[in-house]
Structure 1
């Protein structure tokens, strides 16, 4: 049974705690994180700053990155320990891969962000 976008966002909010910004990334690390995001996640999620996900049940990364309370630590926990539902998301990330993805995702934060829906 597919999970709805509002349910994913509500669940994400429950999992997240105090707001924190990502550690600064070098241009190379940001490029590597973006490339990994596109390859591993871009088939379902929009991993760029603007646009809608190919899978309507997969939240856009900008929506996730701008969720109040999201921290690098909660995002890393999600990517390494809880990222297995639905079955399509059940894959393993090495710690360095999870860090690249989390740090790239946090570059999508904007002070003037407004969700697309």
Structure 2
């Protein structure tokens, strides 16, 4: 009996030491992720965790978890206001916008905290 209790305590202690990353809201499509990396990854971190290569470019999880962000506001921004700064002045096809929005929304987390 004592060894069973000791085993349970040991397992509980080990479990408490493990770090588990939260799951995304929805599974990311590999093609959407690849487009995000190709189109935006040279400046932004497009991964669930990590810092952007360009310190002036916000990490995508920081954008995805902003209060008030919706599919519609993100789509509008990518279509209408995607020309500032000048490094972001490039054209996106409608299906590319949809892919980027779909991927970015997979980066939402209920327990999100900015890395800084």
**Band of TM-score, shorter chain:** 0.7 to 0.9
Distance 1:54 1:71 in 2: 25
TM-score between the two structures when normalised by the length of structure 2: 0.76
Give the CA deviation at 1:70: 0.4
Distance 1:32 1:75 in 2: 19
Higher alpha-carbon Rg: 2
Aligned length: 92
Distance 2:71 2:32 in 1: 14
Distance 2:82 2:115 in 1: 24
Any unmatched runs of 5+ in structure 2? 1-24
Distance 2:89 2:32 in 1: 19
Give the CA deviation at 1:116: 0.5
Distance 1:94 1:36 in 2: 12
Give the CA deviation at 1:31: 1.2
Residue 52 (structure 1) aligns with: 51
Distance 2:90 2:64 in 1: 21
Any unmatched runs of 5+ in structure 1? 1-21
Q: Secondary structure at the match of 2:50?
A: coil
Distance 2:89 2:61 in 1: 21
Distance 1:103 1:83 in 2: 17
Runs of 4+ in 1 over 4 A off after TM superposition: none
- CA-based RMSD: 1.5
Instruction: Give the 5 Å matches for 1:26-41.
Output: 30-41=29-40
